A and B are shown apart, each in its own frame.
Chain A
Amino acid sequence: MAEVEETLKRIQTHKGVIGTIVVNAEGIPIRTTLDNSTTVQYAGLLHQLTMKARSTVRDLDPQNDLTFLRIRPKKHEIMVAPDKEYLLIVIQNPSE
């Protein structure tokens, strides 16, 4: 339990990370470091996108599966690590 906390905190303290969200299979944000409305928005939209991406990958090759999803908008980078039940979303600002 504490390790989970530690992991999440470590991720949060990395350079450039703006926020972290943990979402469950129903789209409910479990853990978040952002405000509620943003969280809900991210959770809902990214959940749908991840489902779509995963189904695309599976359609192309049924034995394949989605391991990681990276979206690079102009401002920040959104990284989504999907799992069967949960979804870990991190928003980072990749500055050099």
Chain B
Amino acid sequence: MEIVHVYTKKRNEFGRQCNFSDRPAELHVDILPDPSLASNFIERDPCDIPIQCTQEMSEHEVNTERFESDTRGINHVEGGWPKDVNPQEMEQTIRFRKKVEKDEHYFSTIMQLGSNMEHCIKQNNAINIYQEYFEEEEVVEESEEQPSAKTINVFRDPNEIKRTATCLSWHPDGSCKLAVAYSSLGFQNISPDMSYDSYIWDIENPNKPEMTLKPVSLLVCLEYNPKDSHILVGGSYNGQIAYWDTRKGSQPVEMSTIEHSHRDPVYKVIWLQSKTGTDTFSASTDGQVLWWDIRKMSEPTERLVLDPNKKGNLDNALGAISLEFETTMPTKFMVGTEQGLVVSCNRKAKTPAEKIVCTYSGHHGPIYALQRNPFFPKNFLTVADWTARIWSEDIKESSIMWTKYHMAYLSDGCWSPVRPSVFFTVKMDGTLDVWDFLFKQNDPTLSLKVCDEALYSLRVQDNGRFLACGSQLGTATLLEISPGLCTLQRNEKALATAMFERETKREKILEARHREMRLKERSRSEQSKDEDTKEGDGEESVEELATRTEAEFYEIVEAELKKRAKEQEKKRPVLWSGIDLEVEDPSWSGVVCQSIIELSLLSLHAISTLSSLIWYPSCRLILT
């Protein structure tokens, strides 16, 4: 449709001037903004649009043809002769040579070069300047590399409510799987939503566990059967033992009956060496050690009550936290207790009283880990309270070697299966320590902070290269250690043997000394009982002694508290008569502990001054 505007104009009006007139501004249209219309639109996100104003250019590559070059040698047969001399002719060449020799320059040059040359020849003749010295000593490949450990994988608890990873077990063949037991060890800390599952992880896949194990109650410990890699046995929080077969699914194949199980959480379960490969034994804080055959879980095959008085009285029993069993010594086993004693037992004893062979005391807290050295079965490692100690079976009074008191509680430890002098410990502040006592005894060789929460468990793989540690929030971390820490050094076995023997001997001597002291003391006190006057004095001095030591105890506690406040910024070891007690911001129990130590030291000192014996620097605690 065409838009057409028609107007008429008279002919005589054509060509007339335009008359313009001024007019004020008139508002024709005023359209006010209508906010209601805005609702029809949505504000658009501001977007950046770049605009550039340049010349458009294009890129073009050019490559010339390769210039091929080749290296060739020329065989100089005989050349360089000047034109007039024919090399074939002997006469001419001789004549030429003679001419050259007559040259003055030749003369001086040869003299100079000759002297130089002679020097070198004589040098050569004097000694062989290129001789390989120290050839016999093979280059000691001291791994210049620092010992280090690298995190390879982290396996997190997939449930929302995180539980502590209390126990880890490597798959016996090839170690490509890791079984982790999750539970909550805090008293009454279990919420109803907490899942009871424990998982088996494939090392390569940290995202999803390979298999789930569904027990009736939280699993505190879990072990693969070294003979049959499909069978696992687990001890649970309610005291029952259960075993799984990974071929049969997530539910336990069989569980022990409640009446015959433990009454406290089962802290440790170990497989025994037997023909059938189905024997295990378990330990719990209710004071019992029970033996089971997994084919018949209705009741234990054997029972042992850890009564130090050897009467089998359950009330007196010590709670067991860790077990130790070495397949090379099938009749002996050791139990680590809550009270800080290590009890060594003999399985084959006839009467229950004889089962408990001896006890080792020296720790102040529950013994969380107990393991014999795989190379030296007579020596074992215990990890408890704030120290780790190495013991020799023969010395019952004290450990032969121990670490300093740490700032945080040690929660687990184990020997390296490949190196006799290396062991690992984990602490409640989330650090993993690697100790090599042939290298350094006061400090760990390597200390690594694995995570921020406390670490509760640790397990080394059989090749000594990988280790896994479990934390409070259920995270299991897989670490790889540097090869220097997992290859046997040249003299290591010999050196470790020498060290153990030396320390054992030292302890033996001290023990003998102690016994002598005690004997003398006893005989002296017997002597003094015969004489009345001396008796009076003796009693008095004992009372005096008691009050004095009590006063001193309180003094020490006060002083310690003050010192603690002062030492907030600085860290300094407190030397006490030759024993290094590193008191670095200790917890309250640490202070009490240390004060008890000091009190005992004082009392010992007092006794020794009474009987005027020599005070020797490295003293042992006789906690009577």
Contact B128 A94 (CB under 8 A): yes
| A1-36 contacts to B (CB < 8 Å) | 1, 3-4, 7-8, 10-11, 14-17, 22, 24, 26-28, 30-31
Nearest A residue (CB) for B105: A85
Check A22–B110 contact: CB distance below 8 A. yes
- When the two chains form their complex, are residues A68 and B120 in contact, meaning their CB atoms are under 8 A apart? yes
Is the beta-carbon distance between B118 and A88 smaller than 8 angstroms?
no
In the assembly, what is the distance between CA of A15 and CA of B118, in Å?
Answer: 11
Interface residues on B, range: 20 to 34
Contact A81 to B101, CB < 8 A, known contacts A16-B124, A28-B81, A96-B127:
no
Shortest Cβ gap from A41 to chain B (Å): 8
The contact of B124 among A40, A45, A77, A81, by CB within 8 Å, is: A77
Cβ contact within 8 Å between B118 and A14? yes
The answer to whether A14 and B101 touch across the interface, beta carbons within 8 angstroms, is no
Residue on A with the closest CB to B87?
A28
Query: Out of B97, B102, B112, which one reaches A83, CB within 8 Å?
Result: B112
Chain A residues in 8 Å Cβ range of B113: 81, 83, 86, 88
Interface 9-mer from B71-79, B273-281, B417-425: B71-79
Interface residues on A, range: 35 or more
Name which residue of chain B comes closest to A15, CB basis: B125
Which one, B101, B114, B121, B124, contacts A30 given CB within 8 A?
Answer: B101
Q: Cβ of A53: which chain B residues have Cβ within 8 Å of it?
A: none
Q: Complex: how many Å from CA A90 to CA B105?
A: 20
Task: Please name the residue on chain A nearest to B116 by beta carbon.
Answer: A81
Q: Is B7 in contact with chain A by the CB < 8 A criterion? A: no
**CB nearest to B82 among chain A residues:** A26
Q: Is B106 an interface residue (CB 8 A)?
A: yes
Q: How far is the CA of A86 from the CA of B105 in the complex (A)?
A: 10
Given A17-B121, A28-B81: A86 and B128 interface contact (C-beta under 8 Å):
no
Which of A4, A22, A45 contacts B111 (CB under 8 A)? A4
Query: Does chain A have a CB within 8 A of B188?
Result: no
- Return B388 CB to nearest CB of chain A, in Å: 56
Asked whether any CB of chain A lies closer than 8 Å to the CB of B573, the reply is no
Main secondary structure of the interface of B (DSSP, over half): helix
B610 to nearest A CB, angstroms? 75
Indicate if the CB atoms of A30 and B100 lie closer than 8 Å. Answer: yes
Judge whether B117 is part of the interface by a CB distance below 8 angstroms.
Answer: yes
User: Which residues 47-70 of A have a CB within 8 angstroms of B?
Assistant: 47-48, 67-68, 70
B114, B116, B117, B125: the one within 8 Å of A16 (CB): B125
Distance between A31 CB and nearest chain B CB, rounded to angstroms: 7
Bound state CA distance, A40 and B81, in angstroms?
A: 12
- Residues of chain A within 8 A (CB-CB) of B76 are 27, 40, 43-45, 47-48
Q: Which residues of B contact A85 (CB under 8 A)?
A: 105-106, 109
A92 to B126, CA, bound (A): 13
A26 in contact with B80 (CB, 8 Å): yes
Question: A92 contacts which chain B residues (CB < 8 A)?
Answer: 121, 124
- A54: shortest Cβ distance to chain B, in Å? 14
On chain B, the residues within 8 Å of A90 by CB distance are 117, 121
Contacts of A72 in B (CB 8 A): 130
Is B122 at the interface (CB under 8 A from chain A)? Answer: yes
Contact, CB under 8 Å: A7 / B111: yes
When chains A and B are docked, how far (Å) is the Cα of A16 from the Cα of B122? 10
Q: Is the CB of A1 within 8 A of B107?
A: yes
Q: Which residues of B contact A30 (CB under 8 A)?
A: 97, 100-101, 106
- Cα distance A96–B128 in the bound complex, in angstroms: 7
Complex contact B125–A11 (CB within 8 A): no
Point out the residues of chain A lying under 8 angstroms from B124, CB to CB: 16, 77, 92, 94
Q: Is the CB of B110 within 8 A of A40?
A: no
Contacts of A11 in B (CB 8 A): 114, 117-118, 121
Q: Report B-chain residues with C-beta under 8 Å of the C-beta of A7.
A: 110-111, 114-115
Instruction: Write out the residue numbers on chain B whose beta carbons fall within 8 Å of the beta carbon of A27.
Output: 76, 79-80
B120 close to A79 (CB less than 8 A): yes
In the complex, what residues of B have CB within 8 A of residue A4's CB? 101, 106-107, 110-111
Flag if B101 contacts A31 (CB, 8 Å).
yes
In angstroms, Cα B114 to Cα A68, docked, is 12
Set of chain A residues within 8 Å of B117, measured between Cβ atoms = 11, 79, 81, 88, 90
User: Considering the chains assembled together, what is the distance between the CA atoms of A10 and B124 in angstroms?
Assistant: 16
| A86-B110 contact given A79-B117, A79-B120, A81-B116, CB 8 Å threshold | yes
Question: For residue A96, which residue of chain B has the nearest CB?
Answer: B128
Q: Which residues of A contact B130 (CB under 8 A)?
A: 72
Inter-subunit contact A8/B110 (CB<8 Å): yes
Chain B residue nearest to A93 (CB atoms) is B124
The 5 closest A-B pairs by CB, nearest first: A44-B76, A26-B80, A81-B113, A7-B114, A88-B113
Can you list 27 A-B contacts with CB-CB less than 8 angstroms, sorted by A residue number?
A: A1-B101, A1-B107, A3-B111, A4-B101, A10-B118, A11-B117, A14-B118, A14-B125, A15-B125, A17-B121, A26-B80, A27-B79, A28-B81, A30-B101, A30-B106, A40-B76, A45-B76, A47-B76, A67-B116, A81-B116, A81-B117, A86-B109, A86-B110, A86-B113, A94-B124, A94-B125, A94-B128
Task: Give residues in B with beta carbon < 8 Å to A.
Answer: 75-82, 96-97, 100-102, 105-107, 109-118, 120-122, 124-125, 127-128, 130
Q: A1-B101, A16-B121, A24-B100 are in contact. List 7 more A-B contacts (CB 8 A).
A: A16-B124, A27-B76, A30-B101, A44-B76, A77-B124, A88-B117, A94-B124
